[in-house]
Structure 1
Amino acid sequence: MPVITEIEDLKRIYRRRVPKMFYDYCESGSWTEQTFRENSSDFDLIRLRQRVAVNMDGRTTASQMIGQDVSMPVALAPVGMTGMQHADGEILAAQAAEAFGVPFTLSTMSICSIEDVAAATTKPFWFQLYVMRDQEFLEGIIQRAKDAKCSALVLTLDLQVLGQRHKDLKNGLSAPPKPTLKNMLNLSTKWGWGMEMLRTDKREFRNIVGHAKGVGDVSSLMDWTAQQFDPRLDWDKVAQIKEMWGGKLILKGILDAEDARRAADLGCDAIIVSNHGGRQLDGALSSIRVLPEILEAVGDRMEVHLDSGIRSGQDVLKAIAMGARGVYIGRAFIYGLGAMGREGVTKALEVIHKELDVSMALCGYRDVKDLDRKCLLIGPEFARYQQMA
């Protein structure tokens, strides 16, 4: 067993173990991938202020996200097709998150269904919703999330139209993989992954197949999804969904201060500053770069969370110190899942937690809730982009 000390270690194992199309699905962005790259590299523009001779005994990373106790202010982000990265992937990731004490968010486009995950866990998880044209399906999946006792709805706003991801198109991405010669040659080198997939019956989008009208198999599913993401989603529709859900609501995909104010006016519990991991609008600013502007716009009217680009505990520290109440990891936990299953997700969380704890201590803080901008050194290059009047 290799020694795992950083997320990059898990990524190397993940790349060797998982079929190319699913690795590329995770590890890519839209168009030129500029935003995908800068989500991570912009964290490097923020330095940390070291402090010494401070009593570091009794440190804690415990916090809360939307009123829920968490062992550290980190949640597992919704990631589509997680069950193709490892057999029963959503179930394993949810179990690892529950044991570690952090929230797990199940994607609408998951392989394991809401009911599959609920049956395999003992505590409520969060459910991420894509708004589809099919109103009957939309109402049905919200009710299914209620029936499963999901404790928050994460409504994604930035996928009304699908950003182009070159690698997915070139790979012919599908779940399960299409039996083309190219795919079969690659799959023939991934025996461990293949044997695990053969042992599960969960190899298609189980939140949709059998639940959406006219979708009974993979071929009908692909036609349905190609037409279903609703480009008409607007703030009135968001308000309708909020009323329909009736519980904690988090809006994902906020990247502009004006949109953040609209979310606050609507009375949402939290927003996630996110550019969909660089997978939608290429050329958009990184999440960490726009976070200060959004925090200034909404103040303490609701919680502000962040995703896109988190790969380490230091990234978590920087986002929290800047003012975010929580962050989400997507690719980081997928690396662990694809590499080692549930154990790998746990290892990813352990790596991030340890780096957060140690870095927090070296910055002179004992409690993650006390982190503030005093521990950050932010140069002028970080704020070099400004919106034109």
Structure 2
Amino acid sequence: MAAQLDSRYPSIDDLRNKAQKKIPRFAFEYLDGGCNEDVNLHRNTSELRDVQLKPNYLRNHNGSSMKTKLFGIEYDAPFGIAPVGLQGLMWPNATEILAKAAFEHNVPFVLSTVTTSNIERISEITEGKSWFQLYHPAKDALRDDLIKRAAAAECPVLVILCDVPTFGCRPRDVRNGLAMPPKMSVANILQVMGKPEWAIQTLIHGQPGFANLLPYMPKGLDLKQLGKFMNDTFSGRLNEAKIKPIRDMWKGKLVLKGVASEEDIEEAIRLGIDGVIVSNHGGRQLDAGESSINSLKRLVAKYGDQIEIMMDSGVRSGPDVARAMACGAKFTFMGRSFMYGVAALGKKGGNHTMSLLKTELQQVMEQLNCATVEDFKDHLI
């Protein structure tokens, strides 16, 4: 697809700065922040950017291709859009905007259980190419129904999340009333009044809610009841007893997201998982944890020939994708970068961010004299 770049925003940092000006502070801080003191949030990107790559200028070069095969499907780039909860809070209709951009650019879009568009609508937009990420429900009946819906929608990959056994301590969200149960304070209302475009778009598209869960919610829930419903509905701690029924039911590819240790990846391999996403939830769960790039290096060295190993958390740009691929990632995912784009540029933000990242990655490949994404490892210093 031809690049659709807005020259006013030639970097992800430019999009982030614009997004901060366009959306209410509570929405931006929900998107931008990590947990506790943000140590692992910053470690993710800083340690990834310590990775250095070696160019080979005098070799023959016949062009570079970003095309990447994953689970038998060829994608146009080695990155996709990570699952993000409550996308419509950051920008109204963000989920559909980004799903459409992913489809047009032929990269994966991963839909979160707790975002603001449902499985069926996103499958329609992506012609059955979107992935679905499952927060594990407390009740088997709800789990089974969500999986059946994902199968009926022809999702090729089911992603199960293992790194949210408990919700991270996020001081900004607590101050802003975005903990459970959520609340809309006077300060939040004043913030909304100061962002008229966001407010108008929210009126047009409706108040964001958990679209996938609407069929299971009692009607007329107030905010306190919503908090109780969410706490009662999900049980984030996974184990063999919870994973095996999913593996038995799901006939497509199954991915475990949130892996950071040898013990967990060995269990994933034993249980017949097809791939793992090395991740620390974007630094939003465990501030004392290891950066995702360091977890990736260690796990690829030991298990890279046994299971497909992907990565998210800390990946923000095309050069970051190149660094992760050089360290052995089969594929990468980004959440915040795409959300900055859509919050900054609305319906044009998805295509702009996709084009920007592709342009950056293509430049790195040409500069290194790297013909394919599989060759990145040959340029690792």
CA–CA separation in structure 1 for the residues paired with 2:181 and 2:135: 21
CA distances 1:62-90 after superposition (whole Å, capped 9, x unpaired): 01122221111101000000111221111
Residue 51 (structure 1) aligns with = 56
Structure 1 counterpart of 2:171, from 142, 162, 166:
166
1:308-347 counterparts in 2 under 5 A? 308-347=313-352
Letter in 2 for 1:375: H
Mapped partners of 2:339, 2:181: distance in 1: 18
8 Å CA contact 2:128, 2:156 repeated in 1? no
Q: 1:340 to 1:82 in 2, by over 3 A?
A: same
Contact kept? 1:176, 1:203, Cα under 8 Å: no
Which residue of 2 is the match for residue 387 of structure 1? none
CA positional deviation for 1:330: 0.5
Q: Distance in 1 between matches of 2:358 and 2:328?
A: 18
- Which residue of structure 1 aligns with residue 26 of structure 2? 21
Say if 1:341 and 1:231 are closer, same or farther in 2 by CA, change over 3 A: closer
Which is worse superposed, 253-262 or 194-203? Answer: 194-203
Partner of 1:192: 197
Residue aligned with 2:132, SS? strand
1:86 is the counterpart of 2:91 = yes
Do the aligned residues in 1 keep the contact of 2:318 with 2:360 (CA within 8 Å)?
yes
Q: 1:92 to 1:202 in 2, by over 3 A?
A: farther
Quick check: 100-109 or 260-269, which moved more?
260-269
Q: Who is 1:269 aligned against? A: 274
* Structure 2 counterpart SS, 1:310: coil
Amino acid at match of 2:353: A
Q: Which structure 2 residue ranges, 5 or more long, are not aligned?
A: 1-5
Deviation at 1:59, TM superposition (A): 1.6
Contact 2:164/2:237 (CA < 8 Å) preserved in 1? no
Q: TM-score, normalised by structure 2?
A: 0.94
**CA contact 2:49–2:323 (8 Å) conserved in 1:** no
Question: Is 1:312–1:352's contact at 8 Å kept on the other side of the alignment?
Answer: yes
Paired residue for 1:65, among 67, 70, 86?
70
Q: Percent identity?
A: 33
Alignment correspondent of 2:136: 131
Q: CA deviation at 1:202?
A: 5.7
In structure 1, what is the Cα distance between the partners aligned to 2:194 and 2:7? Answer: 20
- Aligned counterparts of 1:351 and 1:326: Cα–Cα separation in 2: 18
The C-alpha deviation readout for 1:15-50, integer Å capped at 9, x for no partner, is 111111111111111111111110000022111212
1:38: which partner in 2?
A: 43
CA–CA separation in structure 1 for the residues paired with 2:65 and 2:181: 42
> Cα distance 1:336–1:231, how it changes in 2: closer, same or farther (>3 A)?
closer
Q: How far apart are the structure 1 equivalents of 2:180 and 2:343?
A: 16
1:122 Cα shift? 2.3
Q: Does 1:297 align with 2:307?
A: no
Q: Which amino acid is the alignment partner of residue 376 of structure 1?
A: L
Matches of 1:349 and 1:218 in 2, distance apart? 38
Residue 153 (structure 2) pairs with residue 155 (structure 1): no
Query: More displaced, 347-356 or 152-161?
Result: 347-356
Partner residue in 2 for 1:243: 248
Equivalent position SS for 1:207 = helix
> What amino acid is aligned across from residue 217 of structure 1 in structure 2?
L
Displacement of 1:215: 5.8
Deviates more, 1:177-186 or 1:237-246: 177-186
Cα deviation for residue 177 of structure 1 reads: 7.6
Q: 1:217 aligns with which of 216, 221, 224?
A: 221
Deviation at 1:178, TM superposition (A): 4.2
Q: Tell me the distance in 2 between the aligned counterparts of 1:193 and 1:238.
A: 40
Specify whether residues 78 and 311 from structure 1 end up closer, same or farther in structure 2 by C-alpha distance, changes over 3 A only: same
Q: Tell me the distance in 2 between the aligned counterparts of 1:21 and 1:226.
A: 22
Going from structure 1 to structure 2, the CA distance change for 1:293 and 1:179 (only over 3 Å counts) comes to closer
Q: Distance in 2 between matches of 1:76 and 1:215?
A: 32
**Distance in 1 between residues matched to 2:311 and 2:336, nearest whole Å:** 14
Shift of 1:318: 1.0
- Is 2:293 aligned against 1:285? no
| Contact persistence 1:132–1:138 (CA under 8 A) | yes
8 Å CA contact 1:154, 1:250 repeated in 2: yes
Paired residues, what number?
375
Measure the CA separation in 2 of the matches of 1:177 and 1:189.
21
Contact 1:112–1:202 (8 Å) recurs in 2: no
- Choose 28-37 or 226-235, whichever is displaced more: 226-235
Contact 1:95 1:342 in 2 (8 A): no
Deviates more, 1:130-139 or 1:251-260: 130-139
Q: Distance in 2 between matches of 1:269 and 1:91?
A: 27
2:237 and 2:295 mapped to 1: Cα distance? 26
Match of 2:375 among 370, 373, 380: 370
Equivalent position of 2:3 in the other structure: none
CA RMSD for the aligned pairs?
1.9
Aligned to 1:114: 119
